[in-house]
Structure 1
Amino acid sequence: MLLKTEDNYTELDRRKTQEVRATLEILVALDFIFLADKNQSYGRRNNYDRSTPK
């Protein structure tokens, strides 16, 4: 009986871990997308600044 309960807990833990991991992967992917957008806008701004004579 105890072994069965432990098996159920480990199954639930494994599922929850997969859910958390998938959520984190989505958040990290979104973070990279926003960082890429920011870097592109900064890159454009920096290229514009470099092309203008000082």
Structure 2
Amino acid sequence: MHPSFATRLNLDLLEQNYERWQKDPESLDSGWSAFFEGFELGNLDGKNGAAVA
């Protein structure tokens, strides 16, 4: 991973876009929507019937 990826500016942008996406997924382009859908899926805690590892 490129060392500049996790700068504070990038983290702020991610947080802002995530909040926008949570309120209105159509407000961001499809790439962001796919990213955040995967992010949410990865944060499930077994509520879908799958065992938590």
TM bucket (normalised to shorter chain) is 0.3 to 0.5
Q: Which has the higher contact order (CA 8 A, sep 6+)?
A: 2
Name the larger-Rg structure.
1
Structure whose residues are more often helix by fraction: 1
> Structure 1 length normalisation: TM-score?
0.34
